[in-house]
Amino acid sequence: MQCRIFVPIALVAASCGGVDDEMEFVPELDPAMADIAEGKADRPEDVAAASFTWSADEKIPAFRQGDPAWGRRRLFNSSRCKTLSKSGCAVTAQAMLMSFHSGSKTTPREQNDCLANRRMHSGCLIRWEGCRAAGVKYLGTGSSSLSKLAKDVKNGPQVAAVAARGRTRCHHFVLVTGFDKPSQRGRSEYWREDFEILDPATGSRRRLDAYRRVCSIRRYQGNR
């Protein structure tokens, strides 16, 4: 079976089974994480922001994609798409990112409405350049290099595509908000445990090593 590829502006998507690591995908949570997102199970405890050398976390509202205020709304208000609770991590991560850069709270519901009204999506796939705060540039998809991620995070939070333990392909997005210097742990290279994230699935602050691997980064540059 051949897989046809189409490229709508700032995203790349596959039109048949299987998702390449560098392609966009409609995310979907594992059952255990879905229960946390919908408030059916306790969320993980927050990691202390003070434990990171550099952190923007305190300036960012921690949104949970399954929050009752927006969790049942459909992606891009389309009946063809899944709900924010099930597949809204990209929109939720972007809402937190824009809240940081604008200095005012932008909820996932507001971000979703904006993306829908401005048609900043292709089917059920987000267009990452859409509905940006003033002065924010979308720089495209970057590699999974953790050293490059640390440099980008100094300019503001970044969105990472991640894969959970037991998964071979990416299925979730988180917002990377801070990091530790590896030298503090006697290393010269960055590890996932060195990075702080806000996780749309749980609405909590975690370390990036909560996930098995990073596949790629959606890179942004702001003026803060």
Whether pLDDT at 16 is above 70: no
Between residues 156 and 15, the one the model is more confident about: 156
Model-level pTM greater than 0.85?
A: no
**pLDDT digits 0-9 by tens, 56-82:** 767 899 999 999 999 999 999 999 999
Cα 116–chain centre separation: 18
pLDDT band at 32 (very low <50, low <70, confident <90, very high): low
Does residue 175 sit within a domain?
A: yes
Does residue 17 sit within a domain?
A: no
- The mean of the pLDDT values for the chain is 84
Query: How long a stretch of residues is the chain?
Result: 224
Does residue 10 sit within a domain?
A: no
Cα 11–chain centre separation: 15
Between residues 26 and 2, the one the model is more confident about: 26
Average pLDDT over residues 144-172: 92
Tell me what pLDDT residue 162 has. 95
Does residue 6 sit within a domain?
A: no
Tell me what pLDDT residue 29 has. 72
Structural domain total, the chain: 1
**Sign, Cα dihedral of 31, 100, 122, 17:** negative
Domain limits for position 111:
25-221
pLDDT band at 87 (very low <50, low <70, confident <90, very high): very high
Residue 166: give its domain's CATH number: 3.90.70
Does residue 188 sit within a domain?
A: yes
